[in-house]
């Protein structure tokens, strides 16, 4: 349209721990001519990166300011406790908030769970990053509560993790802060490529993907079937196959079939 030789592309931002591999593979299968570039961003900078135009859309953690960003929640992550492999908690399948009451629980400055008051006892100071907190867990300083994806991202041979549980709140909601991953993009820049990626993350198939091409093709094919048969289509109802056809045959005999009559038409 513009005469530019530069092919269109799509830039997808993602925060640490989120793995867009499945959706990128589907994109490459469906739009092989449109390169998809992955842009890694820190969790606390993801929304601003979208506003600046550093990416067309992003996989980030809620909440986001809906004033200028649209968001589609995709899934909720499991909350886990990162512990040394020789910790007593490694012998059980899951740990509860009560189990952490006497433990030092690290609370990094880039925490993604939004604790008002983390469980356990606070450390003397907060680590700067989740990666720093993981190092302190390995050193035996304390434990760390994070989304499962971050526990996997910072995996070490001397550490493991267990799901964390808590009593439900009065309204039946989880008693734990949870990380919810969403697809987000600037509302003012909802391009066709953004719509394509929305369809992919929502699980639309190739036949149900947004776009005007498929429905008209189906309509044309359906509408064309009787037309391609030419004069044969209107004559078939007068062939005597079924009750409605016999009524059509009577009209045909007194109409355009003229002196030929309708009886020979009703044979069979």
**Candidate from 76-80, 107-111, 212-216, 244-248 with smallest mean pLDDT:** 212-216
Q: What is the C-alpha separation between 131 and 144, in angstroms, rounded?
A: 11
Provide the Cα torsion 194, 195, 201, 205; round to 10°: -140
Share of the chain above pLDDT 90, in %: 66
Reported as a single tens digit per residue, the pLDDT across 130-156 is 999 999 999 999 999 999 999 999 999
**β-sheet with 10-14: strand ranges across:** 36-40, 10-14, 57-61, 180-186, 69-76
Average pLDDT for residues 166-171, to the nearest whole number?
73
Quote the pTM value: 0.72
Domains of the chain by range and CATH? 10-76+180-201 (3.40.190.10), 79-165 (3.40.190.10), 214-257 (no CATH)
**pLDDT for position 201:** 96
Predicted confidence at residue 12, as pLDDT, reads: 98
Per residue in 37-55, pLDDT (tens digit) is: 999 999 999 999 999 999 9
Residue partners of 35: CB distance under 8 A and separation at least 6? 7, 9, 10
Confidence of residue 208 (pLDDT cuts 50, 70, 90): low
| Integer Cα distance of 265 and 231 in angstroms | 15
Asked whether the beta carbons of 130 and 108 are under 8 A apart, the reply is yes
Which residue shows structure tokens 């995996």?
A: 155
**To which residue do tokens 């094919």 refer?**
221
Q: How far apart are CA 101 and CA 95, in angstroms?
A: 11
* Alpha carbons 246 and 120: distance in angstroms, whole number: 85
* 213: confidence class by pLDDT, cuts 50, 70, 90: very low
**Comparing 6 with 237, which gets the higher pLDDT?**
6
pLDDT in tens, 119-134: 999 999 999 999 999 9
| Per-residue model confidence as pLDDT tens digits over 67-122 | 999 999 999 999 999 999 999 999 999 999 999 999 999 999 999 998 888 899 99
């Amino acid at each position: 349209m513009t005469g530019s030789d530069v092919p269109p592309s799509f830039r997808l931002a993602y925060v640490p721990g989120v793995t867009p591999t499945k959706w990128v593979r589907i994109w490459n299968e469906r739009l092989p001519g449109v390169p998809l570039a992955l842009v890694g961003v820190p969790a606390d900078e993801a929304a601003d990166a979208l506003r600046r135009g550093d990416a067309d859309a992003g996989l980030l953690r809620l909440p986001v300011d809906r004033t200028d960003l649209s968001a589609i929640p995709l899934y909720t992550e499991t909350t886990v406790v990162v512990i040394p492999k020789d910790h007593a908690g490694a012998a059980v399948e899951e740990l509860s908030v009560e189990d952490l009451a006497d433990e030092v629980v690290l609370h990094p400055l880039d925490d993604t769970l939004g604790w008002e008051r983390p469980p356990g006892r606070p450390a003397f100071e907060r680590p700067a990053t989740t990666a720093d907190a993981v190092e302190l867990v390995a050193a035996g300083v304390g434990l760390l509560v994070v989304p499962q994806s971050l526990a996997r991202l910072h995996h070490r041979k001397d550490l493991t993790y267990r799901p964390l549980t808590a009593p439900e709140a009065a309204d039946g909601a989880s008693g734990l802060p949870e990380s919810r991953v969403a697809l987000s993009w600037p509302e003012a820049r909802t391009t066709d490529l953004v719509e394509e990626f929305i369809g992919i993350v929502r699980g639309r198939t190739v036949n149900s993907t947004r776009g005007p091409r498929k429905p008209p093709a189906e309509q044309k094919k359906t509408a064309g079937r009787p037309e391609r048969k030419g004069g044969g289509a209107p004559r078939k109802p007068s062939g005597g196959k079924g009750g409605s056809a016999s009524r059509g045959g009577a009209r045909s005999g007194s109409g355009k079939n003229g002196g030929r009559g309708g009886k020979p038409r009703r044979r069979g």
